[in-house]
Amino acid sequence: MVWSPLAGGFLSGKFDRNTSPEESRRSSFDFPPVNKEKAFDIIDIVRPIAEAKSASVAQVALAWLLHQPVVTSVIIGAKKPEQLGDNLKAVDVQLTPEELDQLNEISKLVPEYPGWMLERQGADRK
C-alpha cells in the first residue's frame, strides 16, 4: 500500500504553510497525524506542476499515485460532488518523467529501523 503524505485534507490543495481553512476537520481534530512540514514541501512541488497543467493539486497528487507501478487502485475521499468530479479528472493528467522524479524524490519516506540497519549491514552483499 502506498500512502500519500498529502492525505487527510492536504490532498485538496486548500492547505499551505500560511492557511488552514476554518471549516476543515484538521482545524479542530488533527488526525491522522501528518508531518506537516514534509506535506508542505510536497505541496510546494505539486502546486507549480498543477498550475502548469491547468489541473488541481488533488489531480496531480492522484495522478502521481496512478503512475506508481505498485498501485493497483486509488481510494479518493471526496465529500462533495464537485470534489469527486475534480478527483476523477486525475486520470487525464499526464506527468513527465522529470515531474515524476521530482514528486518521487520529495515524497520519499525516511527509512525507519530496522530497514536502514539492514541496508547498512548488507551493503557489502550487493
Q: Would 87 be classed as within a structural domain?
A: yes
- Cis check for the bond before 111: say yes or no (omega within 30 of 0): no
Tell me the percentage of the chain whose pLDDT exceeds 90: 39
pLDDT of the residue at 95: 97
Q: How far apart are CA 11 and CA 13, in angstroms?
A: 5
Give the domain range for residue 23. Answer: 10-125
**pLDDT above 70: residue 82:** yes
22 in any annotated domain:
yes
The 10 Å CB-count burial string (b at 16+, else e) for 24-34 is bebeeeeeeeb
CATH number at 61 reads 3.20.20.100
Closest CA to 99 of 38, 48, 57: 48
pLDDT-derived band at 109 (thresholds 50, 70, 90) equals confident
Query: Is 5 domain-assigned?
Result: no
Give per-residue pLDDT as tens, 10-65. 666 666 777 765 556 556 666 677 787 888 888 899 999 999 999 999 999 999 99
pLDDT at 116 over 90: no
8 A C-beta contact, residue 90 and residue 62: yes
